[in-house]
Amino acid sequence: MSEFWQRKFLYFGLLSLVALVTGLSSGASTGFATLASGLLVFLTYQLWQLRKLERWVAQPGARRTPDAGGVWGEVFARLHRLVKTQTQSQERLSTALDRLLQVTSAMPDGVVVLDEDDRIALCNRSAEDHLGIDPARDIGQQITFLVRDPRFLAYLTVGSPGEPLVLRLPRNLERALSLQLVPYGESRRLLISRDVTRLEQLETMRRDFIANVSHELRTPLTVVGGFLETLSDAEKPEPAMTRRALVLMSDQTRRMQRLVEDLLTLSRLEDDQNLPREEAVDVPALVRVLHQEAQSLSGGRHRILVRIDSGLWVKGAPDELRSAFGNLVTNAIRYTPEGGQITLSWEETQGGEVCFSVADTGIGIPAEHLPRLTERFYRVDRSRSRETGGTGLGLAIVKHVASRHQARLEVTSEPGRGSRFSVRFTGRRTARAAAREAAEA
């Protein structure tokens, strides 16, 4: 029994005893003594029930409802129902909060709950990654302690949802974040962060693409338009000038035609709905055709060799593979000086892959340019590329074709010694000709 209840019992006991002794000493009747004794018993019972109530309220879930009758039994029953209802409500709220935390943790967007003073009250994992928040350290801190940018401070001060704010934070300048404030409740706000790096890259690529296409078309159109204007203004055009104009206009027209065809090809390859056909492709026969076309395009200026494993076929789209392989062959001829050597190979590697490669002894490519070779319109030497008739889309087409066939493009090069471009297919896409013929039989 606690000291509090010991004092209470002692106090009421002494009070009752004093009342009883006083009554008897003053000549009170036996009825008064009985009344005083009854009052002592009643008060003792009430104190005992209050003590049980105190012990049960201190740990309501640790034991069953105390036994009691009468009014005290009803009090305990009502309190028990109230505690049970409150416990169930707390469990439901706890479950809902856990689910909410799980949902926000799975969101790719960052979510930070800010209080009325713009202090961090809660955040999910994406926000921790985006903004560098450490929950153990930063909960309760001002958000401006972590996002130290004057534009963000101004955006936070205005308090209007408005347009999102795009920032690159010092902790990771390569990542672009979109930050947006969303008010809720009376004075709280949500700060939603989104990684828009890829979207910015796509927008940059779109702008560059439009600028490059416009630039590539401007020169041929200028040449054709200039000659047409000259011929239209001349009353009697000189035959020599006319022939030269027609030759140049034809060249520029073919250049525009190649550019449009490559753009259409690239558009088809980038269409996710346009899946490649799955059929057996006789790559050895395709490489022989490319060898003949390479000799014709070279016009005897290069030594062109070929190595073919005649039994290797692949599953894929014949037109796409022809376009990709043809681009590699054409590039090798364009960038290999007269007298150089070009080797076309189709063979199986030690790792079980099959590989189409084009090796040349051309001018080579500096190492810093290799990672960007497959970008659209990217050129190591713009003037030389235009002189040789390239559109700047060939390697982008090769990359997309390889990706659609679960293959990979590998490039090795050394300035002044030549380059090797290889398309490597996994063993799952290849088959021996004999096995294929047996399966078809």
Residue 20 within a domain? yes
Q: What is the total count of domains within the chain?
A: 4
Do 253 and 397 belong to one domain? Answer: no
Cβ partners under 8 Å of residue 397, min gap 6: 262, 265, 266, 269, 323, 324, 327
Do 35 and 123 belong to one domain? Answer: no
Q: What is the pLDDT of residues 223-256, one digit of tens each?
A: 888 878 888 877 777 888 888 888 888 888 888 8
CATH number at residue 431: 3.30.565.10
- Answer whether residue 434 shows pLDDT above 50: no
Do 225 and 176 belong to one domain? Answer: no
* Residues 411, 248: Cα–Cα separation, whole Å: 34
CATH number at residue 191: 3.30.450.20
- Residue 223 is part of which domain span? 203-269
Residue 274 within a domain? no
Alpha carbon 133 to its chain centroid, in Å, reads: 19
Confidence category of residue 72, pLDDT binned at 50, 70, 90: confident
Do 300 and 421 belong to one domain? Answer: yes
pLDDT of residue 10: 63
pLDDT of residue 344: 95
Do 90 and 126 belong to one domain? Answer: no
Considering all CA atoms of the chain, what is the largest pairwise distance in Å, rounded to the nearest integer? 157
Do 83 and 138 belong to one domain? Answer: no
Residue 375 within a domain? yes
Do 283 and 432 belong to one domain? Answer: yes
Backbone angles phi and psi of 221, in degrees to 5:
-65, -35
pLDDT of residue 294: 92
78-82, 99-103, 411-415: which has the minimum mean pLDDT? 99-103
Q: What angle do CA 339, 340, 343 make, to 5 degrees?
A: 135
More confident residue, 358 or 57: 358
Confidence category of residue 104, pLDDT binned at 50, 70, 90: low
Cβ partners under 8 Å of residue 151, min gap 6: 165, 167
Do 231 and 360 belong to one domain? Answer: no
Contact assessment for residue 377 and residue 209, using Cβ atoms and an 8 Å cutoff = yes
Mean pLDDT value of segment 333-358: 90
Residue that is last in its domain, among 222, 251, 269 = 269
Residue that is last in its domain, among 240, 269, 298 = 269
pLDDT of residue 288: 94
79-83, 181-185, 291-295, 392-396: which has the minimum mean pLDDT? 79-83
- Answer whether residue 26 shows pLDDT above 70: no
CATH number at residue 217: 1.10.287.130
Confidence category of residue 353, pLDDT binned at 50, 70, 90: confident
- Answer whether residue 221 shows pLDDT above 50: yes
Do 321 and 211 belong to one domain? Answer: no
pTM for this model (two decimals): 0.57
Residue that is last in its domain, among 247, 269, 291 = 269
Residue 102 within a domain? no
- Answer whether residue 271 shows pLDDT above 60: yes
Do 368 and 425 belong to one domain? Answer: yes
Residue 101 within a domain? no
Do 320 and 429 belong to one domain? Answer: yes
Residue 359 within a domain? yes
Residue 24 within a domain? yes
pLDDT of residue 291: 94
4-13, 79-88, 103-112, 159-168: which has the minimum mean pLDDT? 4-13
Residue 169 within a domain? yes
Do 247 and 177 belong to one domain? Answer: no
